[in-house]
Amino acid sequence: MFEAIAFYLFAALTIVMFTITVMTSQALYALTAMAAGMIFISAFFFILGADFLGAIQIIVYTGAVMALYAFGMMFFDTTRNVVEKRTNPQIVFILGTLAAIMVVAIVVAPIVSNNIQALYPIQEGVGNSQAVGMVLFTKYLVPFEVAAVMLLVAMIAGIVLAGKKMDKSLTLMAEEEIEMMHASTETHQERGEH
């Protein structure tokens, strides 16, 4: 009973939050609503007994990802209203609804749930974190390492892309040099626009 109440509550909350994220024209609202949604999702993980996953969800999403987005937002200066051109809004909703109906139809069909078999059954009497750790570092060791490398690559890529001119320190530069640099950047921009 408690589980049911919790599920419906968090489901409603998540849906509302994400809907706000998608529909609002205020970037700040969107960001906040999403952060909230992420936390509500972690609640499902806790309900499902995936404690470790829930923790990760909160740390990574609400901690890291949202922080990144917040910085991004500041950078792009999207604190004011976002102006977006809307073309054929009905189609968007129709397609979305259709996709949802299809997926629901598939998952509701008995054939799906009957055909799934457990490959790595959860061991009894072992805590979630421990179990996760055992599977992660045995069966999924290689993917785990690859994921680590990927994260590293992503980090480096993020740094390189965002901070192209990190080798140049404006404080140590002479005025003329800064002028020249700006001039070249502007020509770059013009070229980029073409």
Partner 1 sequence: MELYLYIALFAPLAGSLFAALFGMSPKTKLTGYVASALLFASFVSSAVLLNYVMSGHTVHVELMTWMATGDLYIPFGFVVDQVSVVMMMVVTIVSTVVHVYSIGYMDHDKGFNRFFSWLSAFVFSMMVLVMSDNFAGLFIGWEGVGLCSWGLIGFWYQKESATWAANEAFIMNRIADLGMLIGIFLLYWNVGSLQYDVVFAEVGNLPIAVVTWIGIFLFIGAMGKSAQFPLHTWLADAMEGPTPVSALIHAATMVTAGVYLVVRANPIYDLIPNVGIFIASLGAFVALFAASMALVNRDMKRIIAYSTLSQLGYMFVAAGLGAYWVALFHLMAHAFFKALLFLGAGNVMHAMHDELDPFKMGGLRKVMKGTFVMMTLASVALAGIYPFAGFFSKDLILEVGFVEHHYVIYTVLLLTAGLTAFYSFRLVALIFHGEERYKLFGIHPHEAYKFMLVAMSPLLVLAIIAGAFKMTYYQLVINLLPSTQYHVHSEMTYWIMTIGTQLFVIAAIVFAYKKYANWSSVPDGTSKMENRFCYKLLWNQYYIPKFYEEVFSKPYLELSRIAWKQIDLKIVDATVDAIANAIYKTGENTRDIQDGNLSSMLRWMVVGLVVLLALAVAFTVGYNAVGA
Partner 2 sequence: MEITLTHYLVLSAVLFAIGLIGVMRRKNLLLLFFATEILLNATNIAFAAISHYIGDLSGQMFAFFIIAIAASEVAVGLGLLIVWYKRTGKIDLDQMTSMRG
Q: Which of residues 72-101 bind partner 1 (CB under 8 A)?
A: 87, 91-92, 95-96, 98-99
Q: Taking CB under 8 A as the rule, does residue 23 contact partner 1?
A: no
Candidate list 4, 5, 111, 118; residue touching partner 1; CB under 8 A: 111
Residue 106: how many CB atoms within 10 A of its CB? 10
Q: Taking CB under 8 A as the rule, does residue 18 contact partner 2?
A: yes
Q: How many CA atoms does the CB half-sphere of 191 hold within 13 Å? A: 6
Q: Which long-range contacts (CB under 8 A, 24 or more apart) does 70-77 make?
A: 70/31, 73/27, 73/28, 73/31
Residue 129: how many CB atoms within 10 A of its CB? 13
Which listed option, partner 2, partner 1, none, makes contact with residue 111 (CB within 5 to 8 Å by class)?
partner 1
The residues in 38-57 that bind partner 2, with binding defined as CB under 8 A, are 38, 41, 44-45, 48-50, 52-53, 56-57
CA distance 180 to 182: 5
Q: Taking CB under 8 A as the rule, does residue 32 contact partner 2?
A: no
- Amino acid at the residue 190: E
Contact code string over 90-119 relative to partner 2, x by CB under 8 A: -xxx-xxx-xx--xx--xx----x--xxxx
